[in-house]
Amino acid sequence: MTYCSADSTVNGIGTSAAAGKMSPHYLKSSTIGDELKIFTAGKSKVIGISLKDRGAILPAGRTANAAYWFVGGEEGAWATSSWYMRELPKWVSDFNANGKAKAYAASTWNLLLPEDNYTESIEDNNAYEMPFKPLLRPVFPYNIDTLKKHNGGYEILKGVPMGNSLTLDFALAAIEGEQLGKNNTTDMLCLSFSSTDYVGHQFGIHSKELQDTYIRLDRELERLLNELDKRFGKDNYLIFLSADHGGAPTPSLMQKSNASAGYWSSDNFEDQAELFMNSKYGQGNWILNESNLNLFINRTLVREKNMKLEDMQRTLSKWAEEQEHVTKAFASCDLTEENYTSELGQKVQLGFLPALSGDVIYVLEPGFMEYSRQGTTHGSPYSYDSQVPFILYGKNVPASTNYAAHSITDIAPTVCSYLRIGFPNACTGNPIISFLRPTKK
């Protein structure tokens, strides 16, 4: 068996609530799960599980047997999409009825360990964390049952460590319900423990809330490993664990220490870009939108005025680079035509898609973000956002530690090499050879 842990409207099955915003239809590349299904002529079972729809769908793939995610609201239930099936299996319906979510939603979140163990976080009562509604301060303990009605009902479980516990409970039920690992073909279970993301956004990376969430997640991973050892034996499964991003230090906290950090207003930047374009090209609605550090030029207006889009993109990108707290800006035409060799340019280019990206993509200085003054976010190319772990454990994995820089795109070919299956069809990475040494007998 192989397990992984990571982070469009579809219809939920087995629940009356809206199930999510992500659909397998938008996944354009095959995944490890897809390649496993292809290699075994559909005999392998592939299941994706996450509190988030995208966290379940994207790792499992288009051809997976199922992807399940948690829908909060008034009831709280695990749901899927008609892409995968027309009705929920009995084991899922039974799990939704077993009261697990209700029990977690009735619990209290307090520190798992004595407070003096939390040496990697700041004081509990501070101005840099976002309290749950309607609390005035972000301090333990949190009575989840009391807070539930002010924070989306059962949706609150996503933002507390009990969401990870519920995810693992459901995953263990899936192993039993789907009889994973019971035949001669490799099955794959993709798990995304997403509460760390929700807690990190709300409280920041230096909070006791996030440290406690990771301490509890470590216990949940121990519970998973113990169950796998009991079911299959230590030499009969492979686990790989990674993440889709890190998190930035909260700028308001960093500013207290005189570090270089701050906040950014995309609305103001868009207004200034519009004024610049009006002064350069005459009055007009030149900037359609700013989204996620992308500026979108009104191409209909460009055609009407018989202007040259490439020149306008380069002119706007040069202007953007001259603005305060902007490190670098890239014109869409240059990202299409050039091959960037700098690390920053490469990262932007790897995330660029001509049909969807803006006409100008810009990067802020390290430590700057568009967010509230409490909590934090991610999305920059800097190390605090883009450096993630990769842990490989299980059958035929030699004990070693590798500190060399690798791309996250190297994970898929490394795992596929272990499984001796084809790489995902849009794979751009290479196997990490140092991880592939055979175990000495």
Domain 2-244+388-435 homologous superfamily, CATH: Alkaline Phosphatase, subunit A (3.40.720.10)
Structure tokens at 312: 């306008």
Amino acid, single-letter form, for residue 139: V
- Nearest-5° angle of CA 330, CA 31, CA 378? 40
Q: Are 237 and 394 in contact (CB under 8 A)?
A: yes
H/E stretch holding 2: strand 2-5
Cα separation, 258 vs 243, whole angstroms: 30
Closest CA to 344 of 359, 365, 314: 365
Q: What is the mean pLDDT of each run of 10 residues along the chain (441 residues)?
A: 40 34 84 97 98 95 97 94 96 97 98 97 98 98 97 98 98 98 95 97 98 98 97 92 95 96 97 98 97 97 97 98 97 96 93 95 97 96 93 87 90 95 95 75 51
Could you report how far apart the first and last alpha carbons of the chain are, in Å? 21
Whole-number Å distance between alpha carbons of 12 and 68: 10
Residue range(s) of every CATH 3.30.1360.150 domain in the chain: 262-369
What 3-state class would DSSP assign to 138? coil
Element (H, E) at 145: helix 144-148
CATH of the domain spanning 262-369, picked from 3.40.980.10, 1.10.10.10, 3.30.1360.150, 3.60.130.10: 3.30.1360.150
Element spanning 232, H or E: helix 208-232
Q: Are strands 294-297 and 287-291 parallel, antiparallel or unpaired?
A: antiparallel
Q: How far is CA 203 from the centre of its chain?
A: 17
pLDDT of residue 234: 87
d(CA 133, CA 130): 9
For the chain, where do the domains classified as CATH 3.40.720.10 start and end?
2-244+388-435
pTM, entire model: 0.92
* Residue 174 CB contacts under 8 Å (≥ 6 apart), including other chains: 47, 49, 68, 91, 180, 189
Whole-number pLDDT of residue 397: 87
Q: Whose CA is closest to 249, among 191, 299, 293, 207?
A: 207
Which value, in Å, is the radius of gyration of the alpha carbons in the chain? 24
DSSP string, 326-375: EEEEEEHHHHHH----SHHHHHHHHT--TTTS-SEEEEEPTTEESS-SSS
List, in order, residues 6 or more apart from 97 with CB less than 8 Å away: none
Give pLDDT, residue 438.
Answer: 60
One-letter amino acid at 75 equals E
